[in-house]
Amino acid sequence: MVRQPSRAAATAFAPGERVRVAARPVLGHCRTPWYLRGKTGVVAAVQGTFRNPELLAYHKPGLPAQVLYKVRFEQADLWGHYAGPASDHLEADIYEHWLERPN
């Protein structure tokens, strides 16, 4: 199953923008990890558009395709007792429908 990323799609967020991962409850397949829910990071890159895995998981076409973002987080923001320096980061690929503007 080929999901060709399309670079022509309009994107809600641009590199450098702060974004927050939604903290919605989930039933079913989801590729937004628990430890990132509700966390705020910065868009590091726009990765293209891909069909939605949450729908593909149930044999649906997975449309509309979602923009995928590489989001960079500060480790100190993710974990209460992060044991490394403030300069450590974590990046994850998050679909647009899981991102919102922080207040």
Partner 1 sequence: MSEPRRKTMPREGAGGRAAHDVGGLDFGPIDRTEHDLALWEKRTDAMLVLLRDNKRRVLSVDAHRRTIEDYGQQEYDRTTYYEKWIRAIRNLLVEQEVLTREEIEARMAEVRARHEKAGRKARKGAIPW
Partner 2 sequence: MHEHDHDDHDHAHAKGHAHAPPQKDHDAGPIGPYEVLEEAVRELLIERGVLTAREIAAQVDLMDSRTPALGARVVARAWVDPAYKRRLLKDTRAALAELGIDIGTLAEFRTVENTPKVHNMIVCTLCSCYPKMLLGIPPAWYKSLAYRSRTVVDPRGVLAEFGVALPAGTEVRVHDSTADLRYLVLPMRPKGTRGWSEQKLATLVTRDSMIGTAIPAAPAKRSATAKRKAA
Using CB under 8 A, list all residues that contact partner 1: 1-2, 25-30, 33-36, 53-54, 56-59, 62, 78-79
Smallest distance from partner 2 to CB 10, Å: 19
CB of 15 to partner 2, least distance (A): 15
By CB under 8 A, residue 92 contacts partner 2: yes
- Among 44, 41, 60, CA closest to 52: 60
Q: How far is 11 from 22, CA to CA, in rounded Å?
A: 17
Residue 2, both tokens:
């080929």
Q: What single-letter DSSP state applies at residue 98?
A: G
Rounded Cα–Cα distance for residues 58 and 53 (Å): 9
Q: Which residues bind partner 2 (CB under 8 A)?
A: 1-3, 5, 31-33, 35, 47-48, 50, 53, 68, 75, 78-79, 82-85, 87-95
